[in-house]
Structure 1
Amino acid sequence: MRQITEVLRLAGQGLSCRQIGQSVGISASTVQGYLKRAQAAGVSWPLPEALDAGALEERLFVRSADEYRPGRPEPEWLEVHRERTQGKHVTLQLLWLEYRQACPDGWGYTQFCVHYRRWLGRQDVVMRLEYPAGERLFVDFCGDTLPITDPETGEVWQAQVFVSALGASGYLYVEATGSQDLASWLGAHVHALQFYGAAPRILVPDNVKAGVTKACWYDPELNPSYLELARHYSLAVLPARPYHPRDKAAVEAAVQVAERWVLAPLRHHRFFSLGEANVAIAEQRERVNHHRFRGQDLSRRALFDKLERQALQPLPSTPYEFAAWKPAKVNIDYHVEFAEHYYSVPHRLAHEAVEVRATLHVVEIFHRGRRVASHVREYGRKRFLTDREHMPAAHRAHLEWTPSKLVAWGTTVGPAVAELVETILNTRPHPEHGYRACLGLMRLVRRYGAERVSAACQRALATGSISYTGVDAILKHGLDRVPVVVEAPPKVVPIQHANLRGQAYYQQL
């Protein structure tokens, strides 16, 4: 506008169009065009004091007799903007043609574009960002925290504040969490998507440690649980590039709004739980979302309803359930440790590297991306959880034996064998500790025959050699063929002397 003002000033001094153009640095034809517009609008030098730069532009370029008449219909600019940003290959020229078909007496293409850009420039900063409706959700934690008082101890701890904002409407979600750990980070995402009632196509986090394991311009490494959440909701995760503030301008603006208009009004409140704090946060959040932008009749909620809601994709039937991932190595006993419990995998994977995925209810184990085991998650005292199908054949056979079955087997071989089996099981701290010895007796029967093993067990019982090694030694040395001599216990002769009172003494008492 200063250039046009200078043209009018020099024209008022009587300079020619060529001279004015040389002085201002524009062509003579441009000078002539400005002067024609000024003449048509009834504007001449000196300008009235009330005619500022904006009013001068309005008179010369909008309200000129050739280009504008007050009765011309004005398009619904919000709908024009939605069509332009959401539809593929939709240009302003196409939208103008559709406008002229509906309003033959409407603006020409040039004025249509001028008015659209002027309307767009008056919108809130969120509207000026050129993000298609329903495309992006920006997420981050606030720098400010929210104090929570423990009602029992009076100790004050700081809750973290999660913020998300949709790219086109700026529709805001705010939630207090216990920390910035992975479970809190993903849980806040689930709550935010439930709040919106739909999901965008792209998530844009800052490089929060819970979500981005390794920040990189070209190939950031994401946490496996974060990727799993993205797959569940059919999202792409595009972290903001380090040192590129424009990548996350929307969420930084949302964080600023949350800190100023959600957290600041609650600074004098005293909260005793996260639930209580989130109720108060929700009330402030709704005020912010329904507050109209300065000089506009639109709010974040209104923009969400008109621009974003129909562009978002529907949520899956069930919400994402948080799962922790942990690398592990299979022990020699084909079990994997997680949270002080041991879960079996197929025995062939002993010593292999695997990944453990654990939810609140299930523990799954993956080998080279394929699930090889699944168990109900165990809590409480340390336990081993073993799937019989994961065991080698010999271990399954061992597991099928019970004390009663072992004793019954011994009876089929001979009474002495059954007695020795029962004695072995009863003298161990736990019956299972004697299983291996009993299985060894079975091997001896296959090697030496039932008759020799029965005789060896009889000798072992007589000599107190109650073990597999004792019976094996008897058979190796052929002692089972030697008759067992059972010595009679020596006869005890009562001792008689004067110091013994005898039975008669006690009868006198």
Structure 2
Amino acid sequence: MAKSDAELMDIFHAYDLTGCAWSAAQLAGCDPKTVQRYIALRDAGGLPAERVSRPRSIDPFLVKIEEKVERSGGKVRADVVHKDLVAMGFRGSERTTRRAVAAIKDSWRAGRRRVYRPWIPEPGMWLQWDWGEGPRIAGRRTQLFCAWLAWSKFRVVLPSWDQTLGSLTACLDATLRIIGAAPTYLLTDNPRTVTVEHIAKIPVRHPQMVELGRHYGCVVHTCEPFDPESKGGVENTVKIAKADLVPTTTNLRSAYGSVAELEDACARWAEQVNHRLHRATHRLPAHMLQEELARLHPLPAEPYALALGEERLVGEDRTVRWGDVRYSVPPGHEGRKVWCRVHGDELVIVGRRTQPGPGGGPDGGGPDGGGPAEQQTGSAGLAELWRHRLSTPGRPRIVEAHYPDHPGGNGPRQPRARPQTRAEERFLAIGPGAEAWLIEAAATGVARIRAKMARAIELASLVGAERVDAALGLAAIHGRFGESDLASICDHLARSSAAAGPAAGPAAIADEKHSAQPGTASWAAIRATPKDRKITN
């Protein structure tokens, strides 16, 4: 057991006083051999606290172990080294080999350890972005576009269906317009949409990304691989966003029914993290963004549309033409420009947002395999409006949700009452039941419609418009357009209300399945006798 510093001083003081190891041992209270060992170590200039290594059986093989560690770049396993040493004549245990390999690896890494210099971002300089795997919606994969403004720590998360160049352009445009300005540099890793190839480890930039940067007044940069200091902020943003937004057994978040729900969740998440004290700055990122805006430059009024596809004009019927096929567009884009491109077997339609909102992201889906609709933000920007399955001429892709003002669907448009005279205005003013009665009566060719309308107006002035409106609605449902039918129904409603019972009930429609005429079932019991039968040969 090693002696403490106080014990060593006692041993040295006793030996210097007596000059005898035996006497010094009696004064220090230890063994004479211990005194001799520490005195010899002191005379040799050694360190008393340092243990003297004894010869080991693996010492002759250390040079070979160092060679294997050097050749493998510190990756070789101890069990592989042990097998080679046994073949060379080593008789020790594998435990001895593991200890020796671990010690040599530590020494090898000590001289090659990478030292990271802390990266201090400047305001208005760097915006980083990256992609993360999003939740599945109706069995279909989604992507989370995550952006991080380095100085203010402001985060933006937008959902998307894919990572194509067109989707990336739309997400970048939406992100910059959510921020309100553009930084000097846009930093990301090396995906195919940004870097087309590497020459001598130098990334070659995608020409359209270079044009995108020039359009917004930014320079697109790519980081070095495995460099947490330059791109670690957005990597953490992706990790935190996936942990909070993707349904798992740990966060207990339910699955998303549509991309609109995912959009709302991303907007709420960004609102929460941007208005929460950041651990590094102890400030709100939203407040820091207001300061950083002074260092950012304005955005161009027009988005960068080269990567979005070909330009199309939305007609008054809310459709665009692509390959002689009409595809419908969500409401609010009539007469405006949109951009169309083909991705796989889908037609992607991108346009400007039409409604203000708190955050950005795709919205909605289509029954024909359609995809995200508008990304809602507080300022104008690009948004993926819809995705249609590609079709052939003669088979247009029309989505019923794009025509909420046409409830008739694909059929002919239903007539709408438009009064032309004072009497017609008074009749339709009774309520929706009056309009329903007029439409049904006209469709069935009822005679003397105007006279019956005048009778309804008189009844409304006597018993109230509410009761007459209910009676007209019931008459339209049950097809009762006779002269006295309306008054009879009003009397029935009055009696029902007096008895505190509901007037409405199941419709009783007479048909031929039931009849009050006596049947002939009783004749089946009468059987003919043999003498009444006529036998023929």
TM-score above 0.5: no
**TM-score, normalised by the number of residues in structure 2:** 0.35
Write 1 or 2 for the structure with the bigger share of helix. 1
**TM-score, normalised by the number of residues in structure 1:** 0.36
